[in-house]
């Protein structure tokens, strides 16, 4: 049986999309260590207020086959079963992220409204996005919007 961990920014402060419209911005990165890891769900919520145009925020999960650098470790990687510790390293863009290299294949894309909910959930075990133990794989969850600096929240679940 897999251990399940939720992850999210540990403050109420929102993330923002890139300052340049239509530019991918690595927001949260998962880096594998010693156990297999499956990304099984991502949840997003646009935090726009007093908007004058209808817009949305897109998310793309990219798999790199070499590990990038940077980011700040998320303090809120919470086990659903008390007493377990995740081996996957999860960082966010509080410090600049340099994505991995080689491939960059998009694994899934989804979105949310500028002021509403959205997300992605694997429909079954085979739909989860896997990183093998000891591999150099990295999953980057990138945000993008057609306008500058859209505010949002992003959280998710992994299984190890």
123 or 134, which is more confident? 123
User: Considering the chain, what percentage of its residues have pLDDT values greater than 70?
Assistant: 100
Confidence of residue 2 (pLDDT cuts 50, 70, 90): confident
pLDDT at 50: 85
| Per-residue confidence (pLDDT) for residue 134, from 0 to 100 | 85
Over 90: is that where the pLDDT of 76 sits? no
Count of domains for the chain: 1
Mean pLDDT of all residues in 128-151 = 93
pLDDT tops 90 at residue 52: no
The pLDDT score that the predictor gives to residue 105 is 95
* pLDDT (mean) for 58-80: 93
Q: Residue 10's pLDDT is what?
A: 75
Residue located via tokens 């949310």? 112
> What integer best gives the mean pLDDT of the chain?
92
Q: How confident is the model at residue 32 (pLDDT cuts 50, 70, 90)?
A: confident
Q: Is the pLDDT of residue 11 over 90?
A: no
One-character DSSP codes across the chain = ---EEEEE-SSSPPEE--SSTT--EEEEEEE--SS-EEEEEEEEEE---S-SS--EEEEEEEEESS--EEEEE-S-EEESSTT----SEEEEEEEEEE---SEEEEEEEEEEETTSEEEEE-SSGGGSEEE-TT---EEEEEEEESSS--EEEEEEEEE-
Q: What percent of the chain has pLDDT over 90?
A: 74
Residues spanned by the domain of 109: 4-159
Sign of CA dihedral 71, 73, 156, 56: negative
pLDDT of residue 84 exceeding 90, the answer is no
């Amino acid at each position: 049986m897999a251990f399940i961990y939720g992850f999210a920014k540990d403050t109420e402060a929102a993330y923002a999309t890139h300052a340049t419209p239509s530019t991918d911005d690595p927001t949260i990165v998962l880096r594998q260590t010693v156990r297999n890891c499956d990304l099984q769900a991502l949840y997003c919520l646009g935090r726009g207020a007093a908007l004058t145009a209808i817009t949305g925020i897109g998310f793309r999960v990219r798999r790199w086959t070499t590990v990038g650098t940077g980011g700040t470790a998320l303090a809120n990687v919470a086990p659903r079963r008390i007493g377990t510790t995740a081996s996957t390293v999860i960082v966010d863009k509080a410090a600049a992220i340099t994505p991995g290299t080689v491939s960059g294949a998009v694994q899934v894309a989804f979105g949310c409204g500028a002021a509403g909910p959205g997300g992605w959930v694997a429909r079954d075990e085979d739909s989860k996005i896997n990183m093998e133990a000891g591999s150099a794989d990295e999953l980057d969850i990138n945000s993008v919007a057609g306008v500058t600096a859209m505010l949002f929240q992003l959280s998710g679940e992994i299984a190890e």
